[in-house]
Amino acid sequence: MIVGIDLGTTNSLIAYFSEEGPRIIPNRLGKNLTPSVVSVDSEGKVYVGESARERMSLYPDSVAQTFKRSMGTERDYVLSGRHFRPEELSSMVLRALKEDAEAFLGEEVTEAVISVPAYFDDKRRKATKRAGELAGLKVERMISEPTAAAVAYGLYDKTQDTRFLVFDLGGGTFDVSILELYHNILEVRAVAGDNYLGGEDFTEVMAKLFLQKRGLQLQGMNGKEQARLYRQAEKAKCAIDEQGEVAMSFLYHEQMLEETITAKEYGDACEELLMKIREPVKKSLSDAGLKLGDIDEVLLIGGATRLSIVRDFLIRLFRKFPDTRLNPDETVALGAAVQAAMKERREEVREVILTDVCSFTLGTEVVVEYEEGKYEQGRFCPIIERNTVIPASHTERLFTVRDNQDMVRVRVLQGESRFAKNNLFLGELTVGIPKAPKGQESIDVTYTYDVNSLLEVEVTVTSTGVKQKMIIKDQENQMTDEEIRERMEQLAYLKLQPRDYEENRLTLLRAERMYEETLGDRRKMLDHYITAFEAALEKGGHDEIMDARKALNEILEDESQ
């Protein structure tokens, strides 16, 4: 069984293709969204999703979130004394989704199409693939989130040519993609974005605004207090859209602080973020050689596009109302499921050719002669430029710069800087050449880039025809199959909580968190119901546990109003 997965910064989803079309698979709590949060306790038990998010307020040092932003980096997360890389944390989220899908479908899930931001570079894409492998999934195909969204909207079924802009503002990443549909070909024309901009940043603005009005500093707070602050800021961010102003309260040093924040205050504070959104839109249009008036449709995806401050800004920017027919949280997962059905060659899905583009320029390091006899080293020579439709193959001829030079080193780089040192190093190979006066010997460097982000580098010595070839697979951070198996075994002792216990565990964690955030008689009442629920769990039967949980949840709902 092949499924489609949206591995998000804030939330993740899994979907499959049914007889009625793509469908989201609910998680063990019956919800479509699984928070991309992981917690590991002192005994090595893993919590994923809502239960992990609840632990953030109680045990902040045991919880990790927004780790998608660090995919492909060497960042180390320490949870309860154990060390994890971003892709290992992502693999735990994927493993939970895989288990939920298998329980729902009643069959084994062996393969997945995973979506990635269009602006993810080579390292981030490879790290995402490794996360899938560590979760026990075969990942032969990744799909860019905007392309998945276009597929979900059914644009590949349109009867007329269409140009559309996909605006994807998720919890932690931002993409703008321009796609064009003609006949049965869905082609990405240009992409731009920011891997460090998303809904989490709008939450942070709300938190900072609250602190500013109270004259407080984040640095003076412990981990629990920071977690409480950001939880309340998230609620206030979502509520201010409907109310025009919001009263945000926060328990600090056993004192309940409250401030009213108006929509205008919040809008002014978000102005810098909105300006950051504008630049990738302009860049994508410029790279595609288009103007805003050339765009037929604007699609919104990503949970942060629900914010009225974002939608109002986009209406002013695009001078038209965006298409919001589908749930922005679910669109990408549904499109990934359609892509999975295409991969299975399901009869229900009309085959469509999906083309993508190279998000970043690929090139090599060269020496440049800027005056006769004067050379500058460390310059970047583009070979496949950004937003080139892939698969693509380009060749650049390079000449020797020294007399009797007998070797050329080809450093493979990815990025946009004129200087090699500022771009991402992907690998290198060295070729021998016949000795000759400078400029008389040359090599042809050919880059071939495919839709799965595999780059083949071929170097041919033009005078002898000798060739050398390599496949770039992120050498600096690549795990062999054996290393992946070993790490899977090492992570095996970290057991996900049994599905049947999840709702009980979540209720207790939520109750503990609210107990810490309340005072006085409300705290005493919560303690009574928590104690009753714990007693039922310890000795009660199924019906008694259900009744005690229902009673506690009713109190929790009242307290959260």
Q: Tell me: the pLDDT tens digits for 375-406?
A: 889 999 999 988 887 878 899 999 998 899 99
Q: Tell me what pLDDT residue 382 has.
A: 93
pLDDT for 477: 41
Contact assessment for residue 51 and residue 505, using Cβ atoms and an 8 Å cutoff: yes
Q: What span, in angstroms and rounded, lies between the C-alpha atoms of 498 and 46?
A: 10
Active site residues: 6, 68, 145, 168
Residues 375, 376, 377, CA angle at the centre, nearest 5°?
Answer: 120
pLDDT at 501: 74
Give the pLDDT of residue 234: 92
Name the one residue in this structure whose structure tokens are 């939880």: 231
The rounded distance, in Å, linking the Cα atoms of 154 and 483 is 40
Helices within 244-327 (DSSP H only): 263-269, 271-288, 308-318
Per-residue pLDDT of the chain (561 residues; tens, 9 = 90+): 899 999 999 999 999 999 888 999 999 999 999 999 999 998 888 999 999 999 988 899 999 999 999 998 889 999 999 999 999 999 999 999 999 999 999 999 999 999 998 878 778 888 999 999 999 999 988 888 888 888 888 766 665 778 889 999 998 889 998 988 877 777 888 888 888 899 999 999 999 999 999 999 888 888 888 988 999 999 999 888 766 889 999 888 888 899 999 999 999 999 999 999 999 999 899 988 999 889 988 999 998 999 989 999 999 998 888 888 889 999 999 999 998 998 888 776 766 666 677 878 999 999 987 777 788 899 999 999 888 878 788 999 999 988 999 999 999 998 888 899 989 888 888 999 999 998 999 999 999 887 666 788 999 999 999 998 887 654 434 556 676 667 666 665 555 555 557 888 888 888 888 887 777 788 888 888 888 888 888 877 778 888 888 999 888 887 665
Residue 108: closest CA among 85, 63, 138:
138
Q: Which residues contact 448 (CB under 8 A, 6 or more apart)?
A: 391, 392, 393, 455, 456, 458
Give the contacts of 308 (CB within 8 A, at least 6 positions apart): 241
> What does the pLDDT read at residue 13?
97
Q: Give CA–CA dist 482/487, Å, rounded.
A: 9
Alpha-carbon gap, residue 547 to 542, rounded angstroms: 9
Reading phi first (left if > 0) and then psi (alpha if -120 to 50, else beta), residue 206 is in alpha
So what's the pLDDT on residue 475? 41
Q: Which residues contact 216 (CB under 8 A, 6 or more apart)?
A: 252
The strand order across the sheet containing 63-65 reads 46-48, 37-40, 63-65
Residue 320: both structure tokens together: 């038209």
- The residues near 320 (Cβ < 8 Å, ≥ 6 apart) are 298
C-alpha torsion 133→139→145→147, nearest 10:
170
Q: Is the Cβ–Cβ distance between 321 and 299 less than 8 Å?
A: no
Q: What is the DSSP secondary structure assignment for residue 465, as one 8-state letter?
A: -
10 three-state secondary structure: coil
Determine the pLDDT at residue 536: 86
Give the type of residue at 200. E
Q: Evaluate the CA torsion angle 489, 490, 491, 496 in order and state its sign.
A: positive
Between CA 234 and CA 297 the distance in angstroms is: 30
Cα gap 84→547, rounded to integer Å: 39
Query: In degrees, to the nearest 5, what angle opens at C-alpha 325 toward C-alphas 301 and 232?
Result: 50
- For residues 276 and 202, is the Cβ–Cβ distance under 8 A? no
Q: Which residues are bridge partners to 260 per DSSP?
A: 247
In contact, 428 and 447? CB cutoff 8 Å? no
- CA 176, CA 166: separation in Å to the nearest integer? 6
Are 451 and 101 spatial neighbours (Cβ–Cβ below 8 Å)?
no
